[in-house]
Amino acid sequence: MCEPDPEFGGALEFLSGVVPMEQKHLLPARGAVLREALIDRDTIKDERRAPFYHVVSAGMASIITMCVALLMLDLERVPYLLASLGGSCVILFGIPDNVMAQPRSFIGGHFVGTTVGLIFSHSFSVGIFTTACAVGTAIALMMVTDTIHSPAGADPLIVMAAHPGWSFLAAPLALGLAILFVAATLYHRLVLHRVYPIRWL
């Protein structure tokens, strides 16, 4: 029999003490949930330990990117889109290795959320229930299509509130996404000399 792994021994001992005897067969395997939880915890810590140079450069890159977006996008009718794009900047410049910073999630998530918002906006009267349904539907579709991007969860709310036409998908959405993605790619490759994106699909 293998010796207990000291890294997980304390946690397993705790679980063994609190779980009733008849339910102990439900305890996860030693190398599964506990190890995954510790890996996730360490990953989160590493993402927060950004060097000072990266902190300053990411902040400056975000400022420049948002200035370009403000100059190029006509956001007078839908100013709330800035909030969604600002949330995406946090992910693209702050945690570029995160799955939500990759093109599939970043671009796909925004298009899914916005398209769902447009469908609900043009098909139903705007109300509390329909707006909530739009957000829930967008989340479900992002999960199914593997395009989860947290700032995109606001897109159905923005569309339902502003009630824009279908051209909203091209401008300001597609143009705004292109500005952010090109800026993030140039920043990571030319300033930090790192690979971005790390995957496309």
23 and 82 assigned to the same domain: no
Mean pLDDT of 83-112: 97
Give the predicted TM-score (pTM) of the model: 0.77
Does the structure show a pLDDT above 90 at 142?
yes
144 and 87 assigned to the same domain: yes
Task: Name the domain count of the chain.
Answer: 2
DSSP-derived 3-state class of residue 170: helix
**pLDDT tens per residue, range 56-73:** 999 999 999 999 999 998
Burial classification of residue 187, based on how many CB atoms lie within 10 Å of its CB (0-12 exposed, 13-18 middle, 19 or more buried): buried
116 and 166 assigned to the same domain: yes
Residue 198 lies in a domain: no
134-151 core/surface letters (b: 16 or more CB in 10 A; e: else): bbebbbebbeeeebbbbb
Q: Give the domain range for residue 13.
A: 6-47
35 and 71 assigned to the same domain: no
Residue 199 lies in a domain: no
Residue 196 lies in a domain: no
Mean pLDDT of 173-179: 96
Considering the chain, what is the average pLDDT of its residues?
A: 84
Does the structure show a pLDDT above 50 at 41?
no
Return the top range by mean pLDDT from 17-21, 39-43, 58-62. 58-62
Query: Omega into 164 within 30° of 0, i.e. cis?
Result: no
Mean pLDDT of 169-182: 96
Mean pLDDT of 180-196: 97
Quote the pLDDT of residue 75.
Answer: 76
86 and 114 assigned to the same domain: yes
